[in-house]
Chain A
Amino acid sequence: MTRRLLLLLLPIGFVGIALFLYQGLGRDPSQRDSALMARDFPAFEASTLRDANRQGDQSLLTGEVTLVNVWGEWCPACKQEMPQLLELADNGIRMVGINYRDTREKGLEFLSEFGDPFEVNVFDPEGSMGFDLGVYGAPETFLVDADGVIRYHHKGYVSPEDVRERILPEVEKWR
C-alpha cells in the first residue's frame, strides 16, 4: 500500500514540476521589470538640451510626481508616442525628457516638429544617464514620485491604451 502511494508520488511530482516550468515558458522576457524599481532615481549632472550652460541634476525630479521619458531623434517609436505624451502633459502631469544618444541640433529639430511636452530636457549624448537607468533602447518611460523614487517603468512605445490603462492610474496612485 505505501509502496503504491510512493509510486503515485512520482507522476504527481513530475506533473507539478512540468506545470511550474510551463508557466515560465509563456512569459515574455522583454516585459521584465526595471532593476531600478522602488529605488532612488540615479544621481546625474548634465546640461539641458536647450541651454548648454544650464546644468541640471536629480533634484529636478523631486517635489512632484514626474514622468521621465527617454527619447532620441533617431528613434521612430518616440515620434509615434509624442501625441500621447502631449496628452499626458495637457492632463497636468509634469514631464521631463532625457535626450538620449542624440545631438543638440537633431533633438531640437525633433521637438519643433513633433511638439514639446517636457518642462525640461536633459541632454545625454553619450547615453551615460541612460546607462545608469538601465535603458537599453528608447523609448522608455519612468514614473518618479515626489521623493525621487522610481515607481513605474514602461518599456517601449506608449500607446493611447497604455496611457489610459497603466500610466494615468499609476500617476494617480503615487500622487
Chain B
Amino acid sequence: MALMRLFAAVLLTLAGSVVAAGIELREFDDPVMEQRYRDHTSSMRCPLCENQAIDDSDAPISGDMRERVYQLLQDGQSDIEIINHMVQRFGEYILYTPRLENRTSLLWGLPIGLVVLGMLVVVLMVRARRNASAKALSAEERARLDALINRERSS
C-alpha cells in the first residue's frame, strides 16, 4: 500500500514537471501587471489547439503570444490595446469572451431577449387568468349564488 502511494506520488510529480516544461516562468515586479498578464493569457484561445487558453498550451504559437502579451505589458499598453493587437492578427476567434459589436449582437442579445420574452409570457398568462376568474360569474350564476346565500341565511 505504502509502495503504491509512493509510486503514485512519483508519477504525479513527473506528470507535473512534464506539463510545466512548455510554459516559461515570468517574473513581475508589479503584482497588478502580473494579474493583467494572467487575465490576458487565460482569456485568449490558442489559435492552433482550439480548446486551450494560451497560458495552458505548449503550441509554439501560444508561446509567441504569451511573449507578445508580456512585451506589450512592459511597453505600457492598455488592456484594450493589447486585445486589439492580438485580434488584428488572429481574429475574434481567440477571444473567449467575444466583444459586443454588430456581428455578436445576437449572441449577447438572445439570452436577454429570451428572458424578456419569458417574462412577457408570464405576465400575459397571469393577467389572462385573473380576468378569467373575475369574469367567471354570469348574471344567471350570480342569481343562483344569491339564492343559495339567502337560503343559508334564512334557515
Residues in chain A within 8 A of chain B (CB atoms): 3, 6, 10, 17, 29-30, 32-36, 101, 127, 131-137
Q: Check if A136 sits within 8 Å of B90, measured CB to CB.
A: yes
Q: Check if A131 sits within 8 Å of B89, measured CB to CB.
A: yes
Q: When the two chains form the complex, which single residue of A29, A33, A132, A136 contacts B61, counting CB atoms closer than 8 Å?
A: A136
Q: Check if B89 sits within 8 Å of A3, measured CB to CB.
A: no
What band does the interface of chain B fall in when counting residues whose beta carbon is under 8 Å from A? 10 to 19
> CB-defined interface of B49-62 with A at 8 Å, one 1/0 digit per residue?
01000000001110
> CB-defined interface of B83-103 with A at 8 Å, one 1/0 digit per residue?
000011111110000000000
Q: Is the interface of B mostly helix, strand, loop or mixed?
A: helix
Q: Does B12 contact A (CB under 8 A)?
A: no
The 4 closest A-B pairs by CB, nearest first: A35-B91, A136-B61, A136-B47, A134-B89
Known: A132-B89, A136-B61. 4 other contacts (CB 8 A): A131-B64, A131-B89, A134-B89, A137-B48
A9 CB → nearest B CB, Å: 9
Residues in chain B within 8 A of chain A (CB atoms): 47-48, 50, 59-61, 64, 68, 87-93, 110, 121, 124, 128
Q: What are 5 inter-chain pairs, A to B, with CB distance below 8 A?
A: A10-B121, A34-B91, A131-B64, A134-B47, A136-B47
Q: Check if B91 sits within 8 Å of A32, measured CB to CB.
A: yes
Chain A residues positioned under 8 Å from B90 (CB to CB):
35, 134, 136
Closest to A30 in B: B50
Q: Check if B91 sits within 8 Å of A134, measured CB to CB.
A: yes
Q: What is the CA–CA distance of A136 and B60 in the complex, to the nearest angstrom? A: 8
Q: Check if A35 sits within 8 Å of B87, measured CB to CB.
A: yes
Q: Check if A3 sits within 8 Å of B88, measured CB to CB.
A: no
Q: What is the CA–CA distance of A3 and B89 in the complex, to the nearest angstrom? A: 52
Given known A-B contacts A136-B48, A137-B48, A101 and B89 have beta carbons under 8 A apart: no
Q: Check if A35 sits within 8 Å of B89, measured CB to CB.
A: yes
B99 CB → nearest A CB, Å: 13
A12 CB → nearest B CB, Å: 13
Chain B residues positioned under 8 Å from A137 (CB to CB):
48, 61
Chain B residues positioned under 8 Å from A17 (CB to CB):
110
Q: Check if B128 sits within 8 Å of A3, measured CB to CB.
A: yes
Chain A residues positioned under 8 Å from B93 (CB to CB):
29, 32
Closest to A29 in B: B50
Closest to B46 in A: A136
Chain A residues positioned under 8 Å from B91 (CB to CB):
32-35, 134
A16 CB → nearest B CB, Å: 11
B40 CB → nearest A CB, Å: 16
Q: What is the CA–CA distance of A134 and B61 in the complex, to the nearest angstrom? A: 10
Q: What is the CA–CA distance of A25 and B88 in the complex, to the nearest angstrom? A: 25
Q: What is the CA–CA distance of A17 and B117 in the complex, to the nearest angstrom? A: 14
B73 CB → nearest A CB, Å: 16
